[in-house]
C-alpha cells in the first residue's frame, strides 16, 4: 500500500523538488556558457576572466548553496542545534557564497561592458561571405550559431553588422540592441537579488533576537515587495525576449525564496505562540 502523505509532507516534497531543479540549472547554464566560451575564448579561458566566461554558472551555484543555508537556518535546524561549531561553519560558508555572488555581479558588469564594445564591421553586407572563416552569428545573449552555407541567409536581412571584440562573431543592429538589453537585465537582476539577501539576513538576525516587529517588520515587508516585483518583471522580460532557461531559472528562484519567506513567517509565529504560552502560564 502507498503510505498517505500529509499536506505538510507534500509541501515539503514540492519545496525540495524546486531546490533540486535549481541545482540542475547549474548544469544547464554551464552547458550554455561552455558553448559560448569556445568562441569568446578560443585560446582558453585565463583565470582572471573565468568569471566572465562562466558568470551564470558560478552565480547560480553560489546561490543554490546560500539558499540551502537559509533553509537550514529558518526551517531545518532547531534552536538547540545551533551550537558554536555549527554557527561558525554556517557563517564561513555564507561568507564564501557572498564572495562568489559579488564576484558574479562583477562578471555581469564585465560582460555588459564587453558586449557594449561591439563595433560596426566595415564593408560587411552579407553574412554568407564569412562562412569560409568559421564565423558565428549571435542569435541571443551567450548564444552563437556557426555560419554555414545552409543557414547564413536565414538569420537576418540586414546589410550592416557589428563584431564583438576579439571574437569571430557578428550580429545586426537590432540583435545587438536586444543582447545589450538582456545584459542590462542580468546586471539589474543580480543587484536586486543582492539587496534581497541583505534584507533577508537582517530579518533572520532580528528574528533570532525576537526583534522583527513593528516598524522594522513593515519596512522589511515593503522593501521586499518592491524588490520581488522588480525580479518578477525581469523574469517576464526574459520570458518574452530571452531564452527559456533564463526565464525558468528566474521563476524557480522566486518560488524558492517564497519558501524562505514562509519559513521566516512560520518561525516568527512559533516564537510569538511560545511567548504567549509562557506569559499565560505565569
Q: Are 175 and 127 in contact (CB under 8 A)?
A: no
Domain end residue (candidates: 173, 193, 218): 173
As to burial, measured by CB atoms within 10 angstroms (0-12 exposed, 13-18 middle, 19+ buried), residue 275 is: exposed
Q: What is the pLDDT along the chain (282 residues), one digit of tens a residue?
A: 455 567 778 888 888 899 999 999 899 888 888 877 777 776 777 777 777 788 888 888 999 998 888 888 878 877 777 788 888 888 889 889 999 899 889 989 999 999 999 999 999 999 999 998 889 999 988 888 999 999 999 999 998 999 998 888 999 999 999 999 999 999 999 999 999 989 988 888 887 777 777 888 889 889 999 999 999 999 999 888 877 878 888 899 999 988 888 888 787 777 666 666 666 665
164: containing domain: 119-173
What pLDDT is recorded for position 2?
A: 52
pLDDT at residue 189, as a whole number: 93
Residue 69 is predicted with a pLDDT of 87
Q: Are residues 169 and 244 in the same domain?
A: no
The rounded Cα 142 to chain-centroid distance in angstroms is 15
Determine if the pTM surpasses 0.85: no
Query: Quick check: is 1 in a domain?
Result: no
235 shares its domain with 192: yes
Residue 202 lies inside a defined structural domain of this protein: yes
Residue 83 C-alpha cell reads as 551550537
CATH code for the domain in which residue 188 is found: 1.20.58
Number of domains forming the structure of the chain: 2
Same domain, residue pair 68 and 144? no
Is residue 171 a contact partner of residue 161, using CB atoms and an 8 Å limit? yes
Asked whether residue 275 falls in the same domain as residue 185, the answer is yes
67 and 204 assigned to the same domain: yes
Same-domain status, 42 and 165: no
pLDDT of residue 282: 57
Amino acid at each position: 500500500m502507498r503510505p498517505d502523505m500529509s499536506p505538510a509532507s507534500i509541501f515539503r516534497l514540492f519545496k525540495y523538488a524546486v531546490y533540486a531543479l535549481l541545482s540542475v540549472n547549474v548544469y544547464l547554464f554551464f552547458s550554455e556558457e561552455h558553448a559560448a566560451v569556445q568562441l569568446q575564448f578560443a585560446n582558453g579561458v585565463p583565470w582572471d576572466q573565468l568569471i566572465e566566461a562562466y558568470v551564470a554558472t558560478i552565480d547560480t551555484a553560489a546561490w543554490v548553496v546560500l539558499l540551502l543555508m537559509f533553509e537550514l537556518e529558518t526551517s531545518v535546524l532547531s534552536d538547540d542545534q545551533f551550537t558554536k561549531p555549527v554557527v561558525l561553519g554556517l557563517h564561513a560558508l555564507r561568507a564564501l557564497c557572498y564572495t562568489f555572488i559579488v564576484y558574479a555581479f562583477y562578471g555581469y558588469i564585465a560582460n555588459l561592458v564587453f558586449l557594449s564594445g561591439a563595433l560596426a564591421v566595415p564593408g560587411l553586407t552579407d553574412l554568407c561571405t564569412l562562412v569560409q572563416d568559421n564565423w558565428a552569428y549571435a542569435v541571443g545573449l551567450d548564444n552563437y550559431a556557426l555560419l554555414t552555407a545552409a543557414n547564413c541567409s536565414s538569420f537576418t536581412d540586414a546589410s550592416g553588422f557589428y563584431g564583438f571584440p576579439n571574437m569571430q562573431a557578428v550580429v545586426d543592429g537590432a540583435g545587438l540592441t536586444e543582447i545589450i538589453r538582456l545584459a542590462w537585465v542580468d546586471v539589474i537582476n543580480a543587484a536586486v537579488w543582492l539587496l534581497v539577501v541583505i534584507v533577508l539576513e537582517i530579518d533572520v538576525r532580528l528574528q533570532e533576537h525576537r526583534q522583527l516587529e513593528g516598524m522594522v517588520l513593515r519596512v522589511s515587508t515593503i522593501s521586499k515587495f518592491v524588490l520581488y516585483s522588480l525580479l518578477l518583471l525581469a523574469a517576464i522580460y526574459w520570458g518574452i525576449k530571452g531564452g527559456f532557461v533564463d526565464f525558468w531559472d528566474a521563476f524557480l528562484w522566486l518560488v524558492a525564496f517564497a519558501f524562505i519567506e514562509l519559513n521566516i513567517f512560520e518561525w516568527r509565529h512559533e516564537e510569538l505562540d511560545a511567548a504567549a504560552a509562557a506569559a499565560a502560564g505565569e
